[in-house]
Amino acid sequence: MDFYQRDRSISTANLPWSGTLGPNEIAPHEAAEIDGPIPASEIHRLALASLESAEATNQCASTWLQLGGFIEDIYLHGITGAARLLGAWWLSDRIAFSDVTVGSARLHRLLYDFSPVFLANCEPQQEATVLLWPEPGSQHTMGVFMLSEFFRRAGWHTLLEHPDHSLDPLRTIATNWIDLVALSVGSDRQFEGLRTLVANIRQTSPNSNIRILAGGPMALTHAQALRDLGVDWVGTDARTTVMQATREWKAAVN
């Protein structure tokens, strides 16, 4: 049965959660925010499962996969959409911040659980290297990890800095040939130091053609402001970001 055209015979009653820990219905504006190949009702189901248990979260997403859902869609639209729903519910005071934290952690865990499936058909290893740099002190690194999975799948050497790493990531840039630095920008508080950081990256790197990408929550709402700070481009989608990065890297080395 095609996942995207199947009927709704699999209901919450068939899965191991009560469905009472979050909103029973998804608001129209929330459905518009998560529009994509996976129905909003299914993403709502995953968000509810993430509030219930890790088992329910895994089984919900595994059911999509078993019914023919594409792993990229599950990453980009299912897991990401469920995380956005949790955030929307918190902003509208329908769940507590602690619920968002626990639910997001369970959704993040799905990326680790599904990683062998996602990386099963990797591209041949390339000589391109990307350094992914989360917002310092951030507790929300799901998007950065997801982007790293897409880079690995495309054959890139992937270096992932920890947000609380005791070493200056600029040392990594100074001592390694890095083709691309991907900066996660989680709030406008980072803007003040970002221009200086971009300049320091270019000055520190032995690669005079190093490219700098800005992504994260601010890429969706303040894309032009990020461009004005000196990054080469702003990425809002892991799949298209990696495609563009690969295309530019190949053009630079050929």
For the segment 55-112, what is each residue's pLDDT rounded down to a tens digit?
999 999 999 999 988 999 999 999 999 998 998 899 888 899 999 999 999 999 999 9
Distances (CA, A) of 58 to 50, 65, 116: 9, 11, 14
What is residue 9's predicted lDDT score, i.e. its pLDDT? 36
d(CA 65, CA 39) in angstroms, rounded, equals 14
What is residue 7's predicted lDDT score, i.e. its pLDDT? 40
Give every strand in the sheet of 180-184, ordered side by side. Answer: 157-160, 129-133, 180-184, 211-215, 233-234
Mean pLDDT of 154-169: 77
- Encoded amino acid at 91, one letter: L
d(CA 102, CA 119) in angstroms, rounded, equals 26
Which fold is adopted by the domain 129-253?
Answer: Rossmann fold (3.40.50)
The CATH number assigned to the domain with range 3-118 reads 1.10.1240
What is residue 132's predicted lDDT score, i.e. its pLDDT? 93
Q: Which residues of 4-41 are buried (b: 16+ CB within 10 A; e: fewer)?
A: eeeeeeeebeebebebebbbeebbeebbeebeeebbbe
Classify residue 221 as exposed, middle or buried by CB count within 10 Å of its CB (0-12, 13-18, 19+).
exposed
13 with 45: CB under 8 angstroms?
no
Domain segments of the chain as ranges:
3-118, 129-253
* pTM (two decimals): 0.83
Percent over 70 (pLDDT), the chain: 82
State the chain's mean pLDDT as an integer: 84
Instruction: Name 184's bridge partners.
Output: 215
Which three-class secondary structure state does DSSP give residue 246?
helix
Beta strand ranges found along 44-191 (DSSP E): 129-133, 157-160, 180-184
d(CA 102, CA 108) in angstroms, rounded, equals 10
Q: What is the pLDDT of residues 171-229, one digit of tens each?
A: 889 999 999 999 988 878 778 888 888 999 999 999 999 999 999 888 888 889 889 98
What is residue 21's predicted lDDT score, i.e. its pLDDT? 54
